[in-house]
Amino acid sequence: MSKLKLIVMNNIKELGNKVNDSLKKLNKTDKDYIVSMTSNRFSNGEGKVKINESVNGDDIYILSDVGNYGVSYQMHGREHFMSPDEHFEDIKRVIAATSGHASKINVIMPLLYESRQHKRRGNESLDCAIALQELERIGVDNIITFDAHDPSICNAIPRLPFENFYPTHRILEELIENEDINDMLVISPDMGAMERARYYADMLGCDVGVFYKRRDLSKVVNGKNPIVEHMYMGADPKDKDVIVVDDMIASGGSILDVAENLRNRGARKIYLIATFALFTEGTEKFSEAYEKGLFDKLYSTNLSYVPDDIKNNKWYVDVDIAQYIALIIDTFNKKKNIESLWNGKKKVIDKINQKKNM
């Protein structure tokens, strides 16, 4: 077993420190796992990375949040906020700085870079596949991500391990602990999220429904065909506690339309769940929808950057995944069976039963 070292990029410091603390508890040690690293930018925007300690023969885990829009630097005398492209370039810089020294290089991108550009239509770029193949070429031994937009993107790198974990059980544990949920129904906001919704329904032992997004294919707005109508298929949500699940919330317009539709159909409580809450157009529409009673809570994770002012909203619940990441890292480092990492169904069922017996 190689010595474990954790390289935490500047875009994920808070979560990285929590993962480090969890690793220390798992291994009953006071020694930090985080490697000292310096990441600098020249005034024209070019960057460089320096690893400040030896990683010879170590098992390296690079932790990065490519979706963090709160990291900035001075470029040409003006504040410039880093994009996913720049965060990804910094991952490659760290790989370059450790290649030939580390025993194994593992990249943990909770939000998979370019995951929404996972398939090609016409003369489009296929960015996610290109990025994964580039990581393979420059010496990465394993890629770990969470709730990939399309898990089949792993076919772009058939010879490289690609581990796609789901925070489902952690989110459900938090939901069950905080809320009084009865007579549940899980809803997929579109056909693409149906497999995810079925997984949640299986964990909870309840029925599932789905909305079909009918789009105007003659128009393109902000790179997408606008949604004309949400058509519902499934069990009647009237008087049920409904859970709407998706991998990510961008602007949030679609999932709020679904929530309003369900409220109009008589749903009792509506809980929105997303692994990644990006809020690309702010949170005003969520606050307005909450005040109108269109949903009860939004549960999301700390796998990607969410500003404190959003976390402080009464409708937002932040689910900590640090301990789960630490367990994944520890399991891989010790070359133990990863099967136990996939399914937390028993723990969820136990929590449901405990809640019922209270």
C-alpha 145/C-alpha 168 separation (Å) is 14
Any domain includes 351: no
Q: In terms of domains, do 127 and 205 share one?
A: no
- Contact between 258 and 230 (Cβ < 8 Å): yes
Any domain includes 70: yes
Any domain includes 349: no
Q: In terms of domains, do 315 and 330 share one?
A: no
Q: In terms of domains, do 173 and 267 share one?
A: yes
> Would residue 206 be called left, alpha or beta, if left means φ above 0 and alpha means ψ between -120 and 50 degrees?
beta
Q: In terms of domains, do 9 and 99 share one?
A: yes
Q: In terms of domains, do 157 and 185 share one?
A: no
Q: In terms of domains, do 96 and 125 share one?
A: yes
C-alpha 214/C-alpha 229 separation (Å) is 5
Can you give the pLDDT of all 358 residues of the chain as single tens digits?
Answer: 679 999 999 999 999 999 999 999 999 999 999 999 999 999 999 999 999 999 999 999 999 999 999 999 999 999 999 999 999 999 999 999 998 899 999 999 999 999 988 777 788 889 999 999 999 999 999 999 999 988 889 999 999 999 999 998 899 999 988 998 888 999 999 888 888 899 889 888 899 999 887 776 677 777 667 776 778 888 899 999 999 999 999 888 889 999 999 999 999 999 999 999 999 888 899 999 999 999 999 999 999 999 999 999 999 999 999 999 999 999 999 998 887 777 666 677 677 667 656 6
pTM for this one?
0.90
Any domain includes 251: yes
Q: In terms of domains, do 13 and 156 share one?
A: yes
Residue 191: helix, strand or coil by DSSP?
Answer: helix
Residue 138: give the domain boundaries: 4-165+321-336
Q: Which residues contact 160 (CB under 8 A, 6 or more apart)?
A: 132, 135, 136, 140, 141, 142, 143
Any domain includes 355: no
Any domain includes 346: no
- Contact between 94 and 37 (Cβ < 8 Å): yes
> Which of 285, 266, 268, 274 is CA-nearest to residue 248?
274
What is the predicted pLDDT for the residue at 319? 97
Please name the amino acid found at residue 189: P
- Contact between 40 and 72 (Cβ < 8 Å): no
Q: In terms of domains, do 67 and 109 share one?
A: yes
- Contact between 322 and 302 (Cβ < 8 Å): yes
- In the chain, the number of structural domains is 2
Q: In terms of domains, do 220 and 298 share one?
A: yes
E strands in the chain: 4-8, 37-41, 47-51, 59-63, 72-75, 78-81, 104-109, 142-146, 162-165, 184-188, 207-215, 227-233, 241-249, 269-277, 297-301, 316-319
CA–CA distance from 330 to each of 4, 20, 83, 219, 337 (Å)? 8, 11, 30, 49, 11
In CATH, what number is assigned to the domain containing residue 22?
Answer: 3.40.50.2020
